[in-house]
Structure 1
């Protein structure tokens, strides 16, 4: 129950070091976007990588070469999906959500907040975290695709805002 054999522990240690080193190398070579803040698609890939790594380490039925092939395949698929989403609006729409406008000109959009399951307190906290005490000073609050809030003040809004691809504009 607590210990089967020293050979099993050595196997886990050797495979773990080799797999970890390769995973780091593959992720580093795949580019900064792979390691950026995550949206839902990136989260799924990350969970799949973790699950695959655990399987490689703990399952005797999976050889090191099979496990490494699975890790490389997941990273390549993530790279291809990201590459395609940059070049195709349809693919981008399938894989990634669009940012959502929650506040415009100091007024909360209750419907958009409800759709995104965001409370007024969460929006106000995001505004306060930017050092703004009055919602009337806010041109926009955007729920970004990675779950963070962007707060744009009236002073910084300007004529050409970055709200062109935001849902609710």
Structure 2
């Protein structure tokens, strides 16, 4: 019915549609955490799912194999999420947030440990609206790789314990 040129166009369209619907179904089953970027493993899983989805959609990987791999990856991600609820799983999977700036003090050793330089820190301070070091209470490199800039007076020791929990000094 379709010539080879037409089927070459239809196959990716059908593949994309089926893959997209399958990912929606899988994410509904796996829950809201499926595509969050809260940690490094979340980021890696999201990239891997996107790669598998694209490979299956364009026919570089058989569609059903790609969908099975995505389902398997989401199952592993759900298992890791369950393990994180236990102290051993949390310690195994997650990095701890790292304090980069305590009040006006730049923690250069922590910047170096994180692979950052002061220019990176300055960029984050500007983006947060700091006009001087005096505006900063703390700067924290989060487990997701995001940088949190907490503005206000005082230093890290004046933060609410909930906010400071788990942060390496």
**TM-score normalised to structure 1 length:** 0.81
Q: Distance in 1 between matches of 2:57 and 2:70?
A: 12
- Tell me whether 95-104 or 21-30 shows the greater mean CA deviation: 21-30
| 1:54 paired to 2:54 | yes
> What corresponds to 1:67 in structure 2?
66
- What 5-or-longer segments of structure 1 have no aligned partner? none
What residue in structure 2 maps to residue 12 of structure 1?
12
For residues 142-161 of structure 1, what are the structure 2 equivalents within 5 Å?
142-155=140-153, 158=158, 160-161=160-161
CA distance in 1 between partners of 2:25 and 2:106 (Å): 45
**Once superposed, what is the RMSD of the aligned Cα atoms?**
2.5
> 1:111 offset after TM fit, Å?
0.5
Instruction: Give the 3-state SS of the residue equivalent to 2:164 in structure 1.
Output: coil
Q: Secondary structure at the match of 1:165?
A: coil
Secondary structure, aligned partner of 1:57: helix
Tell me, in whole angstroms, the C-alpha distance in 1 between the residues paired with 2:59 and 2:4: 14
Q: Judging changes above 3 Å, is the alpha-carbon distance between structure 1 residues 4 and 124 closer, same or farther for their aligned structure 2 residues? A: same
Cα distance between partner residues in 2 of 1:29 and 1:55:
22
Deviation at 1:79, TM superposition (A): 1.4
Instruction: Give the paired residue count.
Output: 164
Counterpart CA distance in 2 for 1:39 and 1:159 is 23
Distance in 2 (alpha carbons) for counterparts of 1:67 and 1:136: 52
